[in-house]
Copies of this chain bind each other. A is one copy, B any other.
């Protein structure tokens, strides 16, 4: 037992110790650990035994300093508030654990100024790859990442970085399906609240909505479309606006669940009942959607699976850097809750 300069006592076991125990040089131990070079099966066996016996744990800093892997991937998110991100992270985390990787968390809200610095740090060996969930203003550093050939995968961010690998959901189809469902119930005037227009996913949901109207021979009324930003207040605001329309819609499709909650609030404030007086549909199916009353009808994104797939892609990219970047789109699915029904006039 010796003390390092941080005052903590350590019994650190190094590959040198393992080498001694197994009767080989530590270089051979390194080879065993990394499955490199030709090692005599016998020696390998001895090394492995020594490792478990002595409880060896590799020092990742030394590893990465010497030019190996750091076994860390960075994760860039905006915030962790809504549970949306949490779901995705769960999938990532799980997949990373399988590969013995660790996760370094960065939130953008704190990094507005020095985004470049954070990319610097990350790419200088701190991490082997980077996952980005719904990043905004990412162009600046994406360019850097590409130039450095630093592996990264975008999650839910189609339409901006056309080059890089990404994982998303079928936003267009989801928008189409939700709208068709409402039309099928008999709705003819359907309000829509958009997400942040800079985000590809927001645009596609809107496009799906428009396409469904068109395919069913319904007119597109620009008055029924309100701009939102994926947060609750703009959902509320959009809801109020739509309700105050002289010719108000009988249903409202919000581009995500949080905004749908806002719409629900607005509807109730007017003393209207959901779904009798107003049908509401959301997008995402965050856990909370099942906990509100009535249960929100929404389009489920396979969030956890998106995290999983993105991670698998990233690890793949780390292992074979010269791969073609893929773009994967996972299917969405309509979850029928209790916030939609046929409009009043159709029920008569």
Contact = CB atoms under 8 A, between A and B. Distances in A.
B124 A107 contact: no
A214 interface: no
Interface stretch (A58-66, A167-175, A179-187, A323-331): A58-66
A8 interface: yes
Contacts of A147: 9
A85 B292 CA distance: 20
A155 to B, nearest CB: 15
A121 interface: yes
A150 interface: yes
Contacts of A292: 261, 291-293
Contacts of A124: 10, 12, 57, 59
Interface string A201-226: 00000000000000000000000000
Interface in A102-152: 102-107, 110-111, 117, 120-121, 123-126, 128, 147-150
Interface stretch (A39-47, A87-95, A243-251): A87-95
Number of copies: 2
B70 A80 contact: no
A81 interface: yes
Nearest to A235: B291
A93 B107 CA distance: 8
A85 B90 contact: no
Contacts of A159: none
A70 B6 CA distance: 11
B107 A148 contact: no
A110 B97 contact: yes
Chain A interface size range? 35 or more
A264 interface: yes
A220 to B, nearest CB: 30
A4 interface: yes
Contacts of A271: none
Interface string A258-272: 100110110010000
Identify the 4 closest CB pairs spanning chains A and B, nearest first. Answer: A80-B86, A61-B61, A5-B67, A61-B65
30 contacts: A5-B67, A7-B149, A8-B123, A9-B147, A10-B124, A10-B148, A57-B120, A57-B121, A59-B65, A59-B125, A60-B61, A60-B121, A60-B126, A61-B61, A61-B126, A75-B105, A80-B80, A80-B83, A81-B83, A81-B90, A82-B86, A82-B287, A85-B86, A90-B107, A93-B105, A102-B104, A102-B106, A105-B105, A232-B291, A292-B292
